[in-house]
Structure 1
Amino acid sequence: MKILKAVPAAGYCITIYFDNHHSVTLDMKSKLETVRFSSLRDEQVFCAARTDGKAVYWPRGISMAVSEIIELIAK
């Protein structure tokens, strides 16, 4: 599965669109409390989300692979 685009939204949510015509909106607020994602508390950094098709990535070396996204959805 490939990520087509990642669209940040208000409230630290991000909608991720996949090449299988599905999308998912993740609420990232709880992730902001972790060391790994704490830099995303800066709204400008959070809104700079991009994808290379295999992961969503942000400035400062933060990324989340397709497999992690699927794992979050399954919880």
Structure 2
Amino acid sequence: MSVEFCYRECDRLRYRYFGLQNGRLCFCGNTYGLYGQKSERECNLRCNGNRDEFCGGRLRNCIYEIHTSGSWRK
């Protein structure tokens, strides 16, 4: 898993947000925030597919918003 891979999958499916968790899980959705925002320090697990990136934390999602310009923002 990597941030880029998750972004591309969720963008292809036309979702507004994507999230990564536990270094290996990708989630897509059009809403988020059921449990409130946590400290960014809790997104501390490196991605299995790209060790230079962080893909969430233990039971914590790093959430990104997909923009129509073909980019994302954390």
Report the TM-score, using the length of structure 2 for normalisation. Answer: 0.31
Specify which structure has the bigger relative contact order, considering alpha-carbon pairs within 8 angstroms and separated by 6 or more residues.
Answer: 2
More helix by share: 1
More strand by share: 1
